[in-house]
Amino acid sequence: MADSDSLCVHAHAKINLYLDVIGNRPDGYHEIETIFHSIGLHDDVIIRRRDNRNIKVHCNHPQVPNDVRNLAYRAAKLLRDNTPDLSGVEIEIQKRIPVAAGLGGGSADAAAVLWGMNQLFDLGLTQSDLVGFGVQLGADVPFCILGGAALGCGIGEVLTPLLPLDEAWLVLANPGFEVPTAWAYQRINLSLTKPKKNVKILACCLRNGESPNFVTHLYNRLEVPVFAKYPVVAELKGKLAKCSGSYGALMSGSGATVFGLMQNRSQARLAASNFESDFAFCIASPTCRVGLHIS
């Protein structure tokens, strides 16, 4: 949907194919190494012009706030405050991505607002400009603007694009509760011996289009504290890994969503249908080459 006064942006979720925590930072963030990948699951973010400079947000999910606590609201305010004479907007978020689930839903919505307002108001901002705004909102927002696949360093904002997977199919499952991101990062013991995994090997596999070879290099350090406190997430990972046609499984971000990489679309959909009654959220989704697009 797009006209002179409104547009609808598909804001795609992300998964982490690799996530390691390297160290602490004085600003309270953590240094990480990660590989992001966009997936087909998306929210719809509808942006409409307003005659005044006010910002209004509403969402079909009861847990999503409609004020400054919402990243999409803060994204609109950031652009408005940095752009003279920019009018206000009304933002409608139709949620499909689970909330606080390790899939970057809030970051994707914020990215959609930055990108969508740039389109709607013809602001002429470059992708680099938008990323600069995005990092002020959250560590995952820059990738959600870039989309596709990327190696992320720093807090995740230093991005090196990689070759996206050719429509690999996933089963995404969530047990129905939230894992606080800050809590998961605070429980990491940085003195422990590092795992025998190397983000550079996985990045090289993606860069060279060696899709079958990357599965053995999947890794998420946050699984250690999350699995210890929430063993049901570890059980979920085990079930997805044992599915017929599964290459492997991994928790995304700080959880509690786990994804299973499947051999093809039919096996992904069959597995998802078999698990629908077991988990609060379970769908099949392909990977995606973009993070945002107008419907």
pLDDT at 1 over 60: no
Q: How far apart are CA 133 and CA 42, in angstroms?
A: 21
Determine how many CB atoms are found less than 10 A away from the CB of residue 293. Answer: 16
pLDDT at 126: 97
pLDDT at 234 over 70: yes
Question: How far apart, in Å, are the Cα atoms of 49 and each of 52, 64, 163, 292?
Answer: 9, 22, 36, 20
pTM of the predicted model as reported, rounded to 2 decimal places: 0.94
- State which amino acid sits at residue 288: C
Mean pLDDT, rounded, of the chain: 92
Kindly state which CATH superfamily the domain 169-286 is placed in: GHMP kinase, C-terminal domain (3.30.70.890)
pLDDT at 3 over 80: no
Alpha helices (H) along the chain: 71-81, 105-120, 127-135, 141-146, 181-186, 199-207, 223-229, 231-241, 265-275
> Which pLDDT tens digit goes with each residue over 120-146?
999 999 999 999 999 999 999 999 999
pLDDT at 2 over 60: no
The CATH classification of domain 6-162, taken from the options 3.30.210.10, 3.30.230.10, 3.40.50.300, 3.50.50.60: 3.30.230.10
> Which pLDDT tens digit goes with each residue over 238-276?
999 999 999 999 999 999 999 999 999 999 999 999 888
* Lowest-pLDDT choice from 67-71, 91-95, 108-112: 67-71
pLDDT at 212: 63
Q: How far apart are CA 261 and CA 173, in angstroms?
A: 12
* Mean pLDDT confidence for 15-38: 90
Cis bond upstream, residue 256 (ω within 30): yes
Question: Do 6-162 and 169-286 come out as alike in CATH topology?
Answer: no
What is the residue extent of each domain of the chain? 6-162, 169-286
Beta bridge partners of 12: 42
Residue 253 per-residue DSSP state: T
Determine how many CB atoms are found less than 10 A away from the CB of residue 157. Answer: 19
**Residue of 20, 95, 140, 237 marked active site:** 140
pLDDT at 28 over 80: no
Is residue 67 flagged as an active site residue? no
pLDDT at 183: 92
pLDDT at 4: 79
Q: How far apart are CA 250 and CA 263, in angstroms?
A: 15
Q: How far apart are CA 289 and CA 292, in angstroms?
A: 9
pLDDT at 15 over 90: yes
Is residue 242 flagged as an active site residue? no
**Residue of 14, 95, 237, 239 marked active site:** 14
* Lowest-pLDDT choice from 14-18, 82-86, 125-129, 145-149: 82-86
Binned at pLDDT 50, 70 and 90, residue 277 comes out as confident
> Which pLDDT tens digit goes with each residue over 190-232?
877 666 678 988 988 888 877 666 888 899 999 999 999 999 9
Judged on CB neighbours under 10 Å (0-12, 13-18, 19+), 106 is buried
CB 46 within 8 A of CB 92: yes
Q: How far apart are CA 30 and CA 181, in angstroms?
A: 11
Judged on CB neighbours under 10 Å (0-12, 13-18, 19+), 123 is middle
pLDDT at 209: 75
> Which pLDDT tens digit goes with each residue over 46-72?
999 998 889 999 999 998 999 999 999
pLDDT at 211: 66
* Mean pLDDT confidence for 74-100: 94
pLDDT at 53: 86
Q: How far apart are CA 45 and CA 2, in angstroms?
A: 12
pLDDT at 210: 72
pLDDT at 98: 94
Question: How far apart, in Å, are the Cα atoms of 219 and each of 18, 198, 201?
Answer: 5, 9, 12
